[in-house]
Structure 1
Amino acid sequence: MATIKEVAKYAGVSVATVSRELNKSGYVKEETRKKIKEAITALNYSPNETARTLFKRKSKMIGLLLPDISNPFFTVVARGVEDEAMAKGYHIILGNGDGNEEKEFAYLNTFNVHNCSGIIASQLSTKEAFDSFEAYHMPFVLLDRVYANHEFVETDHMKGGKLQAEAVIKGAAQSVLILEQNLFYKSFNERFVSAKETLEAHQINYVTLNEISLTEEQLIQTIKEYEIDSVICSNDVGAFKVMNILHKHHYHVPNDIQVVGYDDIPLANLYTPSLTTIHQPAYLIGKKACQQLINQLEGHEREHHQILDVSLIERQSTRRA
């Protein structure tokens, strides 16, 4: 079955334009409308009529789109959303976007088909996906990975990056490896920038690598070449990967190399050595986002931008100089 993205490509227009035409939710030029209809016919695309019929009815369903539910951080976020939703008489449809544009489109369409009243989502992977998201004209709240000009709940990532750097500085860091993820996301970018600025202020050398594409060979080569004694990771899952590689190559954590994570997932305190990390209140992020969306749906006063505090949790993976 053809997708809305394929219809847009065939017609030579954006996904948002196709969505506006299908949902009759905005102006579309007559010439463009004809191209979309031709594409629908040629590709045998079947927009869901149930959602269109139920357009004016309010549901008690909320779409929740997260980037990676295999990451325990987002599992806890989802629990916070679900508990709050259930307490207020709403139900959740959960989608795992996986940083994949096609999956994000599919879940957004699913939310529309099920007539969700609103959506809670992390920042989508591409501008085109977000344009499509906005084209549905459903109330929404962004969480964790956000755009500053929309309603959101996030944590203080600038503070978090600073605390990561201060943790390794406290352990007498001389040469630091900062592992970064997609800096397109505001959260990762702010942590990265803040950690670098803090290390620079203390005149500590650092190098950077992309954590997503990091290989075992690349990590070990970088450690040897730059005499790395500290690693700052973008999340706890990445920190566990690093510590596993270090153990395999007979480096001792934290004596040889100290490691700092981010998120404070439940496993962080159970791993050996236990992980020094930045605590994000994952459950509270989910709960606050759900409260904010429901207040929006029900016409109540609400905070439009919520920034929650973070804290450093010192455990066994960093030194105490």
Structure 2
Amino acid sequence: MAKATIKQVAAEAGVSTATISRVLNSSGYVSREVKQRVMAAVTKLHYQPNAIARSLKQDKSFTIGVVLPDISNPFFMTICRGIEDIVQEQGYHLLFCSSDEKPEKEEQLLHLMVEKRVDAIVLATTGGNEELITRLAASGVCFILVDRRLELELSESGAVVDLVAEDDVYGAYELTKQLILAGHSVIGVINGCMGVSTGQDRFVGYLKAIHEAGLEHDPALLYDGHFTEAGGRAAVRYFLQMAKPPSALLSFNNKMTFGALVELTESGRDIPGDIAIASYGEIEAARLLKHSGIMYVDQKPYDLGIKAGQTVLHRLEKGLDKSLDRDAASPEPEPIRDILQPALKTLPS
């Protein structure tokens, strides 16, 4: 059965298509009797408004694209919850998808979001698409980076890319320092992707702490866990086969930490008796371990989402001043940089 058109609804109700639009969009005065006729016609013909046509007419789709590196990670989904709790109050909905930490897939998804005419894109990038993001942002696409920043010089391009993130260098520095103060000098590091800022900055924070303590970084004590659970498990197997295994493991995201905990538990290792654990991000399952003494950076993904949602609404309300009535001599708007300061916590030991 063919979908009913607005013209068919108008003919059924005996009114103009403009009146149908006023009733469905609650804009302008329409008498109660006419409203009842219109809604009766809508119900009878099973009419569904054409969202694409409406977005073209209004130049607004009321959708916000969210491109994440891993939608199975509770950290990123909690960010989405924060965003949604803010933007839905203004009638916006989220369209989100996962790049699976693949730059080429992220590129395809960014093009898809533009084709879908989303009003803004919230991006936790995999890295490698700086040129595309710069070009899209300079053309007027509203971008808000969350959790991960880009190494971009945007001032000359006219691009405005906002950022909501945590101070990863500080968090990793404090976490490493606490391990050193606890007496650990041989620390196995489970790092994430060095192609993204979270991997880079957390490693920088670690280096800062060990150098400050007069220790040297041993490349053999660094394992790339790719920000995955499997990577965390593989890292534990790598470190445990050493002639002198590290006395502590420092993991730079929650999924790698979870994998490490599973592998250590299955291998019969005691935490922290045999090996201590420090994690960038809380692992809720770790609370099931008795006296683990696990130290972790208490990330606030929901707060990141709230901040990102507020930034989106600010940009959509204020715009990026790309309109024709903008004074050509006026400066470009400054990018928003909202950096949250993480805190450390320790489970009972």
User: What band does the TM-score fall into relative to the shorter chain?
Assistant: 0.7 to 0.9
Matched, 1:95 2:109: no
- Seen in structure 2, the aligned counterparts of structure 1 residues 65 and 156 have a Cα distance that, compared at 3 Å, is same
How far apart, in 1, do the equivalents of 2:94 and 2:293 lie? 34
Name which of structure 1's ranges 259-268 and 146-155 shifts more when overlaid on structure 2: 259-268
Name which of structure 1's ranges 191-200 and 242-251 shifts more when overlaid on structure 2: 242-251
Q: Which residue of 2 aligns with 1:264?
A: 282
How far apart, in 1, do the equivalents of 2:149 and 2:133 lie? 11
- TM score, norm. by length of structure 2: 0.68
Matched, 1:293 2:312: yes
How far apart, in 2, do the equivalents of 1:160 and 1:62 lie? 30
**Higher RCO structure, 1 or 2 (CA under 8 Å, sep 6+):** 1
Q: Which residue of 2 aligns with 1:310?
A: 342
Displacement of 1:243 in angstroms is 1.9
Name which of structure 1's ranges 300-309 and 65-74 shifts more when overlaid on structure 2: 300-309
How far apart, in 2, do the equivalents of 1:113 and 1:315 lie? 47
Q: Structure 1, unaligned stretches of length 5 or more?
A: 1-49
Measured against aligned partners, the alpha-carbon deviations of 1:190-232 in whole angstroms (never above 9, x if no partner) come to: 1111112212222345521111284856634534334310010
Residue 126 of structure 1 aligns to a residue in which SS? coil
Measured against aligned partners, the alpha-carbon deviations of 1:145-192 in whole angstroms (never above 9, x if no partner) come to: 112543100111111111210221232102111111111211221111
Q: State the structure with more CA Rg.
A: 2
Measured against aligned partners, the alpha-carbon deviations of 1:266-307 in whole angstroms (never above 9, x if no partner) come to: 445445547421011100111111111211111179971010
- Seen in structure 2, the aligned counterparts of structure 1 residues 69 and 132 have a Cα distance that, compared at 3 Å, is farther
Q: Which residue of 1 aligns with 2:253?
A: 235
Matched, 1:246 2:280: no
Residue 64 of structure 2 aligns to a residue in which SS? strand
CA RMSD across the alignment: 2.8
Matches within 5 A, 1:98-247: 98-127=100-129, 130=133, 134=137, 137-147=140-150, 149=152, 150-204=161-215, 206=218, 207-212=221-226, 214=231, 219-223=236-240, 224-247=242-265
Displacement of 1:108 in angstroms is 2.2
Q: Structure 2, unaligned stretches of length 5 or more?
A: 1-51, 153-160, 320-332
Name which of structure 1's ranges 198-207 and 89-98 shifts more when overlaid on structure 2: 198-207
- Seen in structure 2, the aligned counterparts of structure 1 residues 215 and 141 have a Cα distance that, compared at 3 Å, is closer
The correspondence for 1:77, drawn from 61, 79, 89, is 79
- Is the contact made by 1:177 and 1:232 (CA closer than 8 Å) also made in structure 2? yes
Q: What residue identity is the alignment partner of 2:223?
A: L
- Seen in structure 2, the aligned counterparts of structure 1 residues 148 and 219 have a Cα distance that, compared at 3 Å, is same
- Seen in structure 2, the aligned counterparts of structure 1 residues 265 and 283 have a Cα distance that, compared at 3 Å, is farther
- TM score, norm. by length of structure 1: 0.74
Residue 151 of structure 1 aligns to a residue in which SS? strand
How far apart, in 2, do the equivalents of 1:133 and 1:275 lie? 43
How far apart, in 1, do the equivalents of 2:145 and 2:95 lie? 16
Q: What residue identity is the alignment partner of 1:147?
A: L
How far apart, in 2, do the equivalents of 1:216 and 1:141 lie? 33
- Is the contact made by 1:268 and 1:274 (CA closer than 8 Å) also made in structure 2? no
